[in-house]
Structure 1
Amino acid sequence: MADTTAEIVLFDGFDELDAIGPYEVFENAAQAGAALETSLVTLEESDFVTASHDLRVETQGTLDQPDILVVPGGGWTTANEGVRAVVDDGELSDAVDERFTNGATVASVCTGAMVLAEADLLEGRPAATHPVAEDDLASHAANVVDERVVDDGDVLTAGGVTSGLDLALWLVEREFGEDVSSTVSEEMAYERDEIFG
């Protein structure tokens, strides 16, 4: 059986923990026996991406058609930066919509939910995001809930920055079982929060 593929799509100004937290969870899950292959990717070919706190991250390729696609947040409140810039550009939202239409489970961390909203994936769905973007998310007809992680089947959203750990651990449990998720949680000394949905 082929590995489940997870891709975390990076862009200039993404929040470091939004992407690196889930990446570490997924990599630890693979070491714990999950048939999971994870990559940090970009929409267009790029060797490095600079995150919101100036961390430079080497990418591992361009966005393909993963089984799981994770969109981090970062930079919603600043014009021409991070999520705000990619939402205004529209290309990432279009790419996310295309992957979703072709069967990917799509997840967002923090203000990454605004990319999903722009792709029209959250209309009428329960969704979480960072408090700074809740009003904007609601304006896209999402049912904004105050939860760390919301699982609505093929679309998942997570609230503020550290909730990406909860999201990733839940995805690991959902796809590979509680034993793997518990092993990762214990190794990372992190107790996951409850899931909504």
Structure 2
Amino acid sequence: MKIAFILFDGVTFLDFVGFYDGITRLKYFEETKAFTWDICALQDEVTDELGMTIKINKIKPALADYDMVFIPGGFGTRALRYDESFIAWIKEAKDAQYLISVCTGSLLLGAAGFLENKKATTHPYAYDLLAPYCQEVVHARIVRDGSVITGGGVATSIDLALYVIRLFLSEQDLQNIKKQMDYPYDMQNMVTY
């Protein structure tokens, strides 16, 4: 499984890091030790809404080469939905086994056409922005509709990672990861179609 973490200026880093921290723990398990991932963007650095900057290790890779594509949210998504070159890049992921977003990252999945005839969620304050892109906005923390998995607001990124981990590992392995993360909470309000 080859995973692309998509970043952009105006990202909310907790959206990214909450998911990244959980998913990268897959490397410690026999069943998933061959999983690889790249932090991807259109430029060599991205800056969040508050000025924190991180370096990118893959600049505009071919997203058709990835099995899982994850897009976090942030205020940068509002303008990026209309950025033709960015959306054309995201569209390269059309055949990915899993298309995943958290928070307003779903707006970018929607702008790429991946939410047509799908049910999805996003940050509760952005339900109205998501509505034009999908069949139905579901007021839930995690929504899976086929190959598309969308998560709600910022802190949902941790639960979303755990949800995805459970697709590949046993319940016991998941509980071990939660203990390692010192995460005592149970995933709630998940809907599958």
Band of TM-score, shorter chain = 0.7 to 0.9
- 1:12 maps to amino acid: D
Q: Using the aligned pairs only, state the percent identity.
A: 30
State how far apart, in whole Å, the 1-side matches of 2:66 and 2:170 are: 20
Alpha-carbon displacement from aligned partner over 1:117-171 (angstroms, at most 9, x marks no partner):
1112112211110122101211224311111111112111000001111111111
- 2:67 maps to amino acid: D
Query: For residues 179 and 98 of structure 1, do their structure 2 counterparts lie closer, same or farther at Cα, with a shift above 3 Å needed?
Result: same
Question: Is contact 2:120–2:134 with CA below 8 Å preserved after alignment?
Answer: no
Aligned residue for 2:56?
59
The TM-score normalised by the length of structure 1 is 0.86
What are the residue-to-residue correspondences of 1:1-197 with 2, within 5 Å?
A: 4-33=1-30, 34-35=32-33, 36-42=35-41, 44=42, 46-62=43-59, 63-64=61-62, 65-75=65-75, 82-100=76-94, 102-190=95-183, 191-194=185-188, 195-197=190-192
Secondary structure of the residue aligned to 1:156 is: strand
State how far apart, in whole Å, the 1-side matches of 2:106 and 2:187 are: 19
- 2:143 maps to amino acid: V
Aligned pair count reads 185
State how far apart, in whole Å, the 1-side matches of 2:134 and 2:149 are: 16
How far apart are residue 23 of structure 1 and its match? 0.9
Unaligned regions of 5+ residues in structure 2, if any?
none
Compute the RMSD of aligned alpha carbons: 1.6
- 1:59 maps to amino acid: I
Unaligned regions of 5+ residues in structure 1, if any?
76-81
